[in-house]
Structure 1
């Protein structure tokens, strides 16, 4: 059952060195505040999982938190490469990061399988793709009923999942509105989970068919206003497109990145501006 904690205490309690960590949120509701708290607490040797690693994972990798990345498509949306990710993969700075790249479909299926408690996900995919040549997590199996060749990938079962949402009620139920990614599946698939929210309310006022993550599936809820910034939170604040453009120059240079990290994460204790 969900417990209301500070973000510091939630990360300290549930994110351990060497853990497998998923941080989800698609286009908006990206858990930047949670990611920055992981950096501040200098967590190490994490296996990071995310469908679309963008700036928050570039920051975590550049800060030396990650040893492995399981993902589909990685980049700075609308701008270009993730330069801290590239530096780690290509030149081993601050240390080498192993990567396991999947398709979007495979990652979504993996989260769904993990949420269902299954060991693997099966899908029609990877036909003609080169990814199976470089990712040994992709296997092929034969359907026992039709004989069809199908792709199989491990389910995603994180030690801890971190997501951001608009609001929680006082019973610990969480409402996710706007573009829905795999936040619910990430929570259900994880052993432990942390949800940051913009606010706590008496009534979620959830509409029919709304995405509500039940409090029994969540371990910790932390209030983090603007916790998705510089991404956006539907109904609360817009995306800071300028920051995404500025990040390209910040992340290209190691010293510039380290200065940004010191000023905006380690010493600021809040979201980057």
Structure 2
């Protein structure tokens, strides 16, 4: 059964230097508060995994938490580039950043393989792209039944997966709805997991399109209202579009970025 913990305690226990860490959430339910706590606790040498690294990964990279990024597509949604990501790749600031790039389908299938206890995933994909030339663990494989050439990619099994959701009950069962991505698969594939939620309730009531993560599959749950801001939590908050626009200017300059992190993350304190 998942235990209910303050956010700071959950990160302290579950996220360790050198870990492979997945912070997943698509468009909404992005675990910004948990990412900020990782920055506050100064985790280092992380391999960050995410299907669509956006502003939270820009912040983690710029804060020096990451040494490697495993991803498919990266950018500030609807705005432009991730400038801290770009600076790390081009100029090794604040530390060099290794890249492992995949397609969305490849990343999703890697999580599914990890959640299923399989060593790799097979898909029709990557054909006609340059990714196999630049990513060493994309391999061709022949189907033993038809002879068709397919692509194999290794399973993803993060040391810890972090996601945000709308609700959890007191037994640690988690409920999310709206646009859901690979949160379920990423949690089931991980060795440890931390879920931040908007609300703790006595009983989960059904919601159309819901995904329920059972408490036995989760390590810890933290009550963090607003934990997805500036992204949104369907039914609880709206997307802060102005922040995403503002981030483009904040993140362009190293000193401006560091000042923002100091004022809004380091000195903000953890939400329990």
Following the alignment from structure 2 to structure 1, what is the Cα–Cα distance between the partners of residues 92 and 128? 31
Q: What's the offset of the Cα at 1:209? A: 5.7
1:63 aligns with 2:56: no
The gaps in structure 1 that reach 5 residues or longer are none
| Secondary structure at the counterpart of residue 22 of structure 1 | strand
Write out per-residue CA displacement over residues 57-92 of structure 1, whole angstroms, 9 at most, x where no aligned residue: 000000000010000000000000000000000100
Tell me what 1:231 maps to.
231
**Aligned partners of 1:226 and 1:207: how far apart in 2?**
20
Measured against aligned partners, the alpha-carbon deviations of 1:175-202 in whole angstroms (never above 9, x if no partner) come to 0110010111111000000000001001
Instruction: Give the 4+ runs in structure 1 shifted more than 6 A.
Output: none
Structure 1 residue 80 corresponds to structure 2 residue 93 = no
Task: Quote the offset at 1:151 in angstroms.
Answer: 0.6
Contact 2:61 2:84 in 1 (8 A): yes
Q: What is residue 192 of structure 1 aligned with on the other side?
A: 192
* Deviation for aligned residue 1:219: 0.5
CA contact (8 A) 2:137 2:153 kept: yes
Q: Aligned residues, how many?
A: 271
Alignment gaps of 5+ in structure 2: none
Q: Secondary structure at the match of 1:252?
A: coil
Whether contact under 8 Å (2:22, 2:158) holds in the other structure is: yes
Deviation per residue, 1:19-75 (Å, 9 max, x gap): 000000000000000000000000000000000000000000000000100000000
Q: State the partner residue of 1:154.
A: 154
Query: What is the CA–CA distance in structure 1 between the aligned matches of 2:266 and 2:96, rounded to whole Å?
Result: 22
Change (3 A) 1:242 1:209: closer
TM-score (norm 2): 0.98
Determine the C-alpha separation between the residues in 2 that align with 1:206 and 1:64.
41
CA RMSD of aligned residues (A): 1.0
What secondary structure does 1:132 align onto?
Answer: helix
CA contact (8 A) 1:264 1:270 kept: no
Match of 1:165 in 2: 165
1:163 is paired with a residue of what secondary structure? strand
- Determine the structure 2 residue equivalent to 1:31: 31
